[in-house]
Every structure is written in C-alpha cells, then in structure tokens.
Amino acid sequence: MKEREKQAEDAVYKAKREAAIAITEANNREKVAKQAQEAAKKLTKEQEKIIRDKSNEQYEDFKMRYDTLATIVILYAVTVTIGLAVTSERIKADTIAFVKTIAFLFEGYYETACKLTTAAAGVGSGIQQPVVSVIITYLLGGIVALLCIAFILAGISSVGWLVYHVYQKYCWDEISPFVSLMSLAIVVSFASIMPLNIYLLLILSQIAYMIIRWLWEIKAIQGLFERIATRIEKWLDLKPNQQIGDLIIVFVIVVAVLTVRSWIKG
C-alpha cells in the first residue's frame, strides 16, 4: 500500500515537473514570438521609411527637373511674347487707348471730386462771420475731399482683395501661371484680328478663368456634366423612332433660329 502511494506521489511529482517545464517552454516560446513580432514591426517601419525617403527623393528630383523646364519654357514664352508685343502696331494702339481710357476715368473722377469739394466749401461763403466762414469752408471742403479719396481707395482695395482672395483660394497652383501666359501669348500673337482691346480681353479671360475654377471647385461643372451624361443615357434608351423625332425637332429649331437671325440682319 505504501509502495503504491509512493509510486503515485512520484507520478504526481513527475507530472508537476513536466507541467512546469512545459509552462516554462511555452513562456519562452511566447517571449520569442513577441520578440520576433517586434522585430518584424521594426523591420516594416524601417522598410516604410526607406521607401518613403526614396519616394521623396525621386519626387524632389522630378520637381527640380519640372521647375527647371517650366522656368525655361516660361522665360522663352515671355521673351517671344514681349518681342511680338514691341513690334505689333495693334498692341501699341491698344496700349495707348487703354492708358487714355484709364486717364479719362481718373480725370472724370477727379473733376467730379473737385466739383463736390467746391460745392461743399461754398456752404461756408454764406456765413456772415469771417472766421466761422473760413473754418466751415476748409472743414467741409477737406471732409469731402477725404471722402472722395477714401471712396476710390476703398473701391480699388476691395476689388484687389476680392481678386486676391478668390485667386488664392481657387487658383493658387501651378496651372494658373501657364493659363495666364497662354492667354497673353494668344492675345499678342493674334492681336491683329482680336475684336476688342487686348487689355480688356486679358482682363476678361482672367475673370472667365477664375469663374471656371470656382465652378470646378464647388463641383458645379461636374454636376452639369453628370446631368448631361444622364440625359444622353436616357435619350440613348429611347426607341429609334423617338430619337429620330427628337433630332427632327432640334433641326427645326436650329433652322428657325438661323432664319430669324437672317431676317434681323436683313
């Protein structure tokens, strides 16, 4: 009986010892697995850093080449455009006309401001007391003159701030200089056949560009294209006779518009 108990105790002790060894081995394996996982994470981060650094290096190299090429193209285009502008009689005439128009506007505003100032200063001439009359005359005249100056400065600064704000928010990228340069080159190259003053065309082209970029940024143009695509898909789903009927209606409308236009010109 005692021998069996001793054998049982030995078996239990052996089992406990084997279990302790197994637990220790499991802990060691878990520790090794964690170390391997951490090493893998560290290696992954290092690889990602290497890839990111390489990508940044390639991007900087591409950007430097792109900027160099863009600078060369811009300088060449500006040089050619200036050369054409200097030798163009139409541009000279439009420049003179544009400067005269600006001068005429400022001269008209100056004359209007002088009239208002004189009229305001004339209020003091009706006062009997000389000292008060002189004070009122110069005071009212100075106030009106300052208001006229403040009005024109406020108008110019407001328009400038609006243009700068819209341009910075919607057009502040690498596309805008090329668009401006292309507009200038087109206007200068075909100045002889332009229907309007070239400076006015440049201003209108920039306004149109900013409006288009604004509509693009607020997704208005994309919405218009989507609507057009939806309408085209619906039209393509129609039966052939319905499509032919729509085409006939469009043809009749175009003919009617052209006929009315010819009557008006006649």
Mean pLDDT by 10 residues, the chain (266 residues): 62 69 76 80 83 83 81 79 80 87 88 81 67 71 83 87 83 79 82 82 86 79 73 73 72 79 68
* Residues 23, 147: Cα–Cα separation, whole Å: 92
- Three-point CA angle 179, 181, 182, nearest 5°: 65
Count Cβ atoms below 10 Å from residue 184 Cβ, excluding itself. Answer: 20
Q: Determine the pLDDT at residue 111.
A: 86
Q: Determine the pLDDT at residue 6.
A: 63
Would the pTM of this model clear 0.85, i.e. be above it?
A: no
- List of residues 6+ apart from 52 with CB closer than 8 A: none
Direct distance between the N- and C-terminal alpha carbons of the chain, in angstroms, rounded to an integer: 135
* Residues 257, 245: Cα–Cα separation, whole Å: 19
The three-state secondary structure class of 157 is helix
Cα pseudo-dihedral 158, 163, 166, 169, rounded to 10: -100
Helix and strand numbers, DSSP H then E, in the chain:
7, 0
- Cα separations in angstroms, 13 against 6, 148, 196: 10, 107, 107
Query: Over the stretch 140-152, which tens digit does the pLDDT of each residue have?
Result: 778 888 888 888 8
Tokens of 242: 């319905």
- Three-point CA angle 226, 231, 237, nearest 5°: 125
